[in-house]
Structure 1
C-alpha cells in the first residue's frame, strides 16, 4: 500500500483516524459539509461498491454459486467502510427482493437495469450517512472529498 503523504500511513489508516489533520480540524471547528461534497464522496464510494458488486456477481454467477453466496462474495470484495457496507446492504437487499433479478443472469439487460436501480437506491440511502460522517470529520468519504482542498 502506497503512503499518502503522511509518513507510513496509507489509505487504510485514514479510515481509522478520521482523515487528514486539516479535515479533522475543520470538523472540530464545526465547518459545515455541503451536500455537493457529500454527493461527490458518496459517488466515489458507490464506484467502489459497484466494482465489488459486479465482480462478485460475475464470479459467483460464472461459478454457479447460490444467490446468497454470490451476494456474500460481492460484499466481501467491496465493503471496507460504514458507507460501503450500507450501500452493499441496500443494493443487495434490493436485488434479492426484486423477483427475477438474480435469476436474470449477467447476460440479461434486465439484470443490469435492476442492478443500476439498486445502486441508485443505495446512493440515495447512503448520501445522508456520508454527509453526517464527513461533518464529524469521520469516515472514508472525508478523505476523498477533501483530499485536494
Structure 2
C-alpha cells in the first residue's frame, strides 16, 4: 500500500509542476536549466519588488525626515508607500492584460505581499542598525549610502523568498499567468 501511495505522490508532484508553468515555461528545479530559470525569475521578481520598495522607502523617508517626524512615523510612511508603489507596479500591467481592477488587486496582493514584507523588514532593520544613519539627514552621504546598503541587503535576502514562492506557483508566478510579454 505504501508503494502505491509513493507512486500517487510522485504523480501529483509531476502534475503540480506541469500545471504551474512560470513565465511560459515549466520550471523544474530538479534540472540545471530549471534551476537557472527559477533563479532568473526570482531575481527578476525581486528586482521588481525592489523598484517599488525603493520608490516608497526613499519618498517616505524623505517626506518624514524633511517634516521632522519621529523615526517611527517616517518609517511607517516609507513602508506604507513601499507597499503602494510595489502593488501599483504589479496592478498596472495586469490591468493592461484585461483583468478587472478587483482581480488585478487580488493578483498583486498574492504576488507581492510576502516579498515586499520581507524586503521592508530587512531594509528597515539594516537602516536602523547603522549608527547615526537615520539621524544623518538628507544631505549626508551616511544617510544615502546606508539606505543603498539596506536596499541591497534586502534584495539579497528576498531572492530566496521569491524562489520558494515561484517554485510553489505563488508570488510572481501568479502575475505571469495574467500579463503578456
Question: How does the TM-score come out when normalised to structure 2?
Answer: 0.62
**1:95 maps to what in 2?**
127
Superposed CA deviations along residues 6-61 of structure 1, whole A, max 9, x for unmatched, are: xxxxxxxxxxxxxxxxx96326x763452111101101100100000001001101
**1:114 maps to what in 2?**
146
- Within a 5 Å distance, the mapping from 1:1-16 to structure 2 comes to none
Task: Determine which structure has greater relative contact order: mean sequence separation of CA pairs < 8 Å that are 6+ residues apart, divided by chain length.
Answer: 1
**2:10 maps to what in 1?**
none
Matched, 1:66 2:66: no
- Within a 5 Å distance, the mapping from 1:30-69 to structure 2 comes to 31-32=28-29, 33-69=37-73
Q: 4+ runs of 1 displaced by more than 6 Å?
A: none
The match for 2:20 among 25, 28, 32 is 25
**2:155 maps to what in 1?**
123
CA RMSD of aligned residues (A): 2.4
Moved more, 107-116 or 44-53: 107-116
Tell me which protein shows more strand as a share of its residues: 1
**CA separation in 1, counterparts of 2:177 and 2:141?**
33
Tell me which protein shows more helix as a share of its residues: 2
Stretches of structure 1 lacking an aligned partner (at least 5 in a row): 1-22
Question: How many residue pairs are counted as aligned between the two chains?
Answer: 125
Stretches of structure 2 lacking an aligned partner (at least 5 in a row): 1-17, 30-36, 88-112
Q: Could you say if the C-alpha distance between residues 42 and 84 of structure 1 is closer, same or farther in structure 2, counting changes exceeding 3 Å?
A: same
Q: Which of 1 and 2 has greater Rg?
A: 2
Moved more, 29-38 or 75-84: 29-38
Q: Could you say if the C-alpha distance between residues 26 and 77 of structure 1 is closer, same or farther in structure 2, counting changes exceeding 3 Å?
A: same
**CA separation in 1, counterparts of 2:47 and 2:178?**
14
Superposed CA deviations along residues 91-116 of structure 1, whole A, max 9, x for unmatched, are: 10111111010011111122111100
Question: How does the TM-score come out when normalised to structure 1?
Answer: 0.75
